[in-house]
Chains A and B, each alone.
Chain A
Amino acid sequence: MTAIIPNVIAMKGEFIQATWETIYMTLMSAIVSAVLGLLVGVLLVVTQPGGILEDKLTYSVVDKLVNLLRSIPFIILLAVISPLTKFLIGTTVGTTASLVPLIFGIFPFYARQIQNALLDVDHGVIEAAESMGSSPLEIIFRIYLREGLADILRVSIVTVISLIGLTTMAGAIGSGGLGDVAINIGYARFENDITFTAMIIILVLVFAVQLFGDWVVRRVEHQ
């Protein structure tokens, strides 16, 4: 073992620590982004032309904002958002500070995915619910979020996997986690076994998310 991955063995503790940091960053930013993304995604669907709470102004403002945020490359966002991060967290380095750019990097993406998932909910069913006297709030919770649940879970998996990717980019500029280890130690010191091992751990995390997600989707689907 020491012959193949000498540097990894020497840094076992750091690897375990970095893995937990990656999981922490992913989980925390996923939770906040889920709330924001769901809110914005639902808002887009209900206010769009022909939606149950049609509102042209709200729709076009939110729609453009989401597009704008999605257009900023993450690596630039990391730098641009640092004043806000400093204001909110008090510092711009470390895992907790990285949550701010991670959330802003992922929630507009997630909102768009949620919007698309909810648009797939059969319009006829929405109309049936309206004809049965359901209120807009009832339609959101009893129809949109429920009928669209399998698709919502599907896009959530995709989002979490993208998020794991973003944490490594945040890592490159010093937020900690496996990206940090891979770039700032493995790559910088030409210790290829470290970079490689970090990659393997990330792949394992991605597969775990995918498998778990697929299992959950299968359980809720009745088509």
Chain B
Amino acid sequence: MSETVTNAIELNNISVNFQNHDQEIDAVKNVDLQIKRGDIYGIIGYSGAGKSTLVRVINLLQQPTQGSVIVNNQEILKLKPVELRQARKKVSMIFQHFNLMKSRTVQGNVEYPLLGTKISKADRQAKAEKLLRLVGLSEYAGTYPSQLSGGQKQRVAIARALASDPEILISDEATSALDPKTTKSILELLKQLNRDLDLTIVLITHEMQVIKSICHNVAVMDAGEIIERGPVAKVFTEPQQKLTTDFVETSTNVKEAIERITSTIKISEFKDNQELMYFNFIGNSTKQGVVSEFSQKYGIDVNILFANIDQIDGENVGYMIAVITGDLAVFNAAIQRLSSEGVKTRILTNDVLEGGAA
């Protein structure tokens, strides 16, 4: 039973079907998901994967067709309407389009969750002021949302979400409408809230960059199913599924680089002793080491077309795309050695030729 104590959220065998006219959509299919208290859990997937539908089951904005939902040790589906509304106050949500009330001031928006509670008007005001200070918007208390920038609106939404002292914060694409700099500052704020308030955060996104910069764990969703999950560092460096690889390569600019390279050089004109290679370095192995080892020890020529370096969970992760020229037998032996040192390699030549033919 100690399991349930550490899990903030447990979704068991959740399915959601929609009946659209005469066609049935399985938006979520038999999903199991456990999220630990204090975690920052990312859910990534393309549009229509079912991410929003899945997280809306957590506070029952979406009734699941099947399955059970345990949030803060409460079986949500068994609650009476009044109890459910009480439980929802402990699971706050922020959205892509902020969803602030335009008829209320910033202060009024932040006070909203406290209306109709036993908290006195003075305490309510004081709490809203405190939260606005926390998100850095004290001087905007009397302003209406329409006069704020996107980043400021999301800060107000975060302050509002915190007013009911939630234990869980769900962020559904909260940074998708923001520019990179603002995104970064909002993610920093979420990180700080996770640390200082021990807030469990569930974060939906379609950008691996977001997952990389704040999440501890991640689940990859596709067509209503979780196809891969685990600690971010692991999923990032050892993606198992094609889709996961796609997300990782997009976030590291590798995907874009491959596209650019294959559209500018003619792979079909490669000689037999040439390959287009992708290298992925984790930890201590570095690109310089590989290049010099290849050329000096094995007499292989390495022509670097793209290189990038990233930090995930405090570890350096490097990426490189290069054209290799040399004896292929020697080359295979070299690759064997590299992989034993934690360097991942992939021959892109065939991928590209097949992809081009399709």
Contacts and interface: CB of A to CB of B under 8 A. Distances in A.
Given A124-B95, A132-B113, A138-B116, A223 B102 contact: yes
B101 A146 contact: yes
Nearest to B166: A132
Contacts of A132: 88-89, 92, 112-113, 160, 164
Contacts of B113: 132-133
Given A143-B101, A222-B102, A131 B61 contact: yes
A133 B164 contact: yes
A147 interface: yes
A125 interface: yes
A127 interface: yes
A150 B93 CA distance: 27
A5 B123 CA distance: 67
Contact of B61 (A122, A130, A150): A130
Given A131-B88, A132-B113, A124 B99 contact: yes
Interface string A120-155: 001011011111111100100011001101100000
Contacts of B97: 122, 124
A134 B146 CA distance: 23
Contacts, number: 61
Nearest to A222: B144
Contacts of A130: 61, 88
Contacts of B112: 129, 132, 142
Contacts of B59: 131
A128 B101 CA distance: 10
Interface string B79-105: 001000111110111010101111110
Contacts of B144: 222
A150 B146 CA distance: 15
Contacts of A223: 102, 146
Contact of B85 (A127, A134, A150): A134
A166 to B, nearest CB: 31
Contacts of B119: none
Contacts of A125: 99-101
Contacts of A124: 95, 97, 99
Nearest to A145: B103
B305 interface: no
A182 B115 CA distance: 53
B88 A133 contact: yes
Interface string A40-63: 000000000000000000000000
Contacts of B102: 122, 147, 222-223
A129 B81 CA distance: 15
Contacts of A150: 103
Nearest to A147: B103
Contacts of B104: 146
A56 B89 CA distance: 29
12 contacts: A124-B97, A128-B95, A130-B88, A131-B61, A131-B88, A133-B89, A133-B164, A150-B103, A222-B144, A222-B146, A223-B102, A223-B146
Given A125-B99, A127-B95, A138-B116, 11 more contacts: A124-B99, A127-B99, A128-B93, A131-B61, A131-B91, A133-B87, A134-B85, A146-B104, A147-B103, A150-B103, A222-B146
Interface of A: 122, 124-125, 127-135, 138, 142-143, 146-147, 149-150, 220, 222-223
